[in-house]
Amino acid sequence: MTAQTILTVGSLHYDIMVEADHLPRRDETAVGTRWYPKFGGKGGNQAVAVAKAGGISRMCGAVGTDDFGTFLRQKLRAGGVEDGSIATIPGTGSGMSVAIMDRDGDYAATIVSGANLLIDPAALAEELLWDGVCLLILQNEVPEAINLAACRQARARGVRTLLNAAPARNLSPDLTALIDILVVNAVEAEMMGTDQVSCLPSAAEAAKRLADRFEAVIVTAGALGLAGVGANDAAFSIPAERVRVVSSHGAGDAFIGALAAATVLGVPLAEAARRASHAAARHVSGGL
């Protein structure tokens, strides 16, 4: 197999999407207009986004013995993702979430991790899992022990690792040392110790600060755009494309998938980020 496969290790969630005029405030019961199920989990979404961007996509994760798990597997396969390394955990529910989206396309969500917490680190040592893999994608919706085991296997095989550090949490020095590309949004960057990100110059400063700990960094700042620091401390900023927002849900995952697909083709980080920004813009405008 050509060594251009992108392996995503991470979460799978059965998302219940609720649409409402506005997001409820504390102690408020908001009235919704409709609900529907949706394939989700940052890991699953990013694996599918890789395939949509033209990459060869494989995923390692876990589901439970329930209808949610069947749904998630079907959606992975339909999205062009190899699912042979998705474990089914007996007696455990699949991961799920409830997300509320308002009329402006903004949303808030709550997740229940379920089987995602029970991925077996030993499964990450399987040789077939790494056949043809040249990039590993991770997020923070599974325990750090899983991410660390995946990183160690990747490093031993000369495979680069991209961490989308979402949701934000403290990263151990052992994990930090094994990350080649860090991608965070403004809030996550601030939670990792940068100053407030409120414009592209402040995003650039945040990326520069995080580059003290990581080889390459991209800080996304929503409608403002993004900034990054690549190889040899090369800094770049990319303003966001102006589009009509239908929904911002999943934009970050679309970005990661497109970024990864471009990276494995040898595209420089700044150009890969530009392509990923375009993919995210298409996504939020309903173009994907």
d(CA 257, CA 92): 29
Task: Give me 178's structure tokens.
Answer: 């094994």
The residue assigned the tokens 């110059």 is: 201
Dihedral (CA of 161, 144, 122, 56) sign: negative
Query: Nearest CA to 34 among 78, 100, 97?
Result: 100
CATH architecture of 5-11+42-63+76-86+121-179+241-284: 3-Layer(aba) Sandwich (3.40)
Query: Nearest CA to 248 among 49, 47, 46, 101?
Result: 101
Domain ranges of the chain: 5-11+42-63+76-86+121-179+241-284
CA 221 to chain centre: 15
Query: Nearest CA to 59 among 151, 175, 137, 113?
Result: 137
d(CA 149, CA 161): 12
CA 86 to chain centre: 17
Q: Where are the beta strands (DSSP E) in the chain?
A: 5-9, 13-20, 32-40, 56-64, 81-89, 95-101, 107-112, 133-139, 160-164, 181-185, 216-220, 225-229, 235-239
What string of pLDDT tens digits covers the 288 residues of the chain? 456 999 999 999 999 999 999 999 999 999 999 999 999 999 999 999 999 999 999 999 999 999 999 999 999 999 999 999 999 999 999 999 998 989 887 878 888 999 999 999 999 999 999 999 999 999 999 999 999 999 999 999 999 999 999 998 999 999 999 999 999 999 999 999 999 999 999 999 999 999 999 999 999 998 899 999 998 889 999 998 887 776 666 789 999 999 999 999 999 999 999 999 999 888 877 775
pTM value is 0.92
* Cβ-based neighbours of 227, under 8 Å, separated by 6 or more: 200, 203, 204, 206, 207, 218, 219, 221, 235, 236, 237, 238
Q: Is the distance from CB of 219 to CB of 227 less than 8 angstroms?
A: yes
d(CA 74, CA 122): 25
